């Protein structure tokens, strides 16, 4: 036993390498922050609609059924990248998708939706970004899953990919539908 003690530093180094290696190769974003609001009720908010629309979005619109809340902006390139994924989620998975339009010029947002399609049941315009701050948003896009009791169950910072939808969002929606 004592004679093998000299191997200890090597073993420790190997453990460290494996630990760092798995983290590096896992593909997870090291800058992604966990949300402080998981399992908490949505903060109260009430956002006006984009001009010419009648919807708007308020915290009272949630509840009854699980919903997906997407924070997007027309100036955000990653939002365009994830747009087909969001659209498919709303169309194929039958989950109501609503949105907060973050710090956008209304005319730009409307033109963006016209150009790229509008998968959202309701859109609230968060012109000064304060509602987003209440939600702990630190960059667009971000996507939340709200359960039927109106609690935040999941938050993904950054663009949604089909892989994340399969691995994280679909299983959660299946669980919430029970």
Partner 1 sequence: MTWRSTLAVLLLALTLAAPAGAIEPQEQLADPALEARARTISQELRCPVCQNESIDDSNADLARDLRRIVRERLTAGDTDDQVVGFITARYGDYVLLRPPLRDGTLALWFGPVALLVAAIIAMTLRRRRRAKAEPAPLSSEEDRRLARLLDEETAP
Contact string 39-78 vs partner 1 (x = CB under 8 A):
----------------------------------------
Among 9, 27, 34, 52, binds partner 1 (CB under 8 A): 34
Query: Is residue 37 part of the contact set for partner 1 (CB under 8 A)?
Result: yes
> Least separation, in Å, of the C-beta of 143 and partner 1?
17
> Least separation, in Å, of the C-beta of 106 and partner 1?
18
| Cβ distance to partner 1 smaller for residue 124 or 136 | 136
Angle at alpha carbon of residue 144, lines to 141 and 126, rounded to 5°: 55
Among 15, 33, 149, 174, binds partner 1 (CB under 8 A): 33
Relative to beta strand 123-126, strand 97-102 is parallel
> Least separation, in Å, of the C-beta of 14 and partner 1?
19
| Cβ distance to partner 1 smaller for residue 133 or 177 | 133
Contact string 88-117 vs partner 1 (x = CB under 8 A):
---------------x--------------
Distance between CA atoms of residues 131 and 122, nearest Å: 15
> Least separation, in Å, of the C-beta of 36 and partner 1?
4
Contact string 121-150 vs partner 1 (x = CB under 8 A):
-------xxx--xxxx-xx-----------
Distance between CA atoms of residues 173 and 178, nearest Å: 9
Q: Contact residues for partner 1 (CB under 8 A)?
A: 31, 33-37, 103, 128-130, 133-136, 138-139
């Amino acid at each position: 036993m004592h004679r093998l003690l000299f191997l200890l530093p090597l073993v420790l180094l190997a453990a460290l390498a494996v630990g760092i290696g798995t983290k590096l190769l896992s593909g997870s974003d090291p800058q992604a922050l966990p949300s402080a609001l998981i399992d908490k009720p949505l903060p109260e908010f009430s956002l006006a609609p984009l001009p010419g629309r009648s919807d708007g979005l308020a915290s009272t619109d949630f509840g009854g059924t699980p919903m997906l809340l997407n924070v997007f902006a027309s100036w955000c390139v990653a939002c365009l990248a994830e747009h087909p994924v969001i659209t498919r989620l709303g169309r194929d998975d039958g989950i109501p998708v609503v949105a907060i339009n973050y710090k956008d010029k209304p005319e730009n947002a409307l033109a963006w939706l016209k150009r790229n399609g509008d998968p959202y049941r309701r859109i609230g315009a968060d012109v000064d970004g304060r509602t987003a701050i209440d939600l702990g948003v630190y960059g667009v896009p971000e996507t939340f899953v709200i359960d039927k009791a109106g609690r935040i169950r999941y938050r993904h910072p950054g663009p949604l990919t089909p892989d994340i939808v399969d691995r994280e969002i679909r299983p959660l929606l299946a669980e919430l539908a029970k």
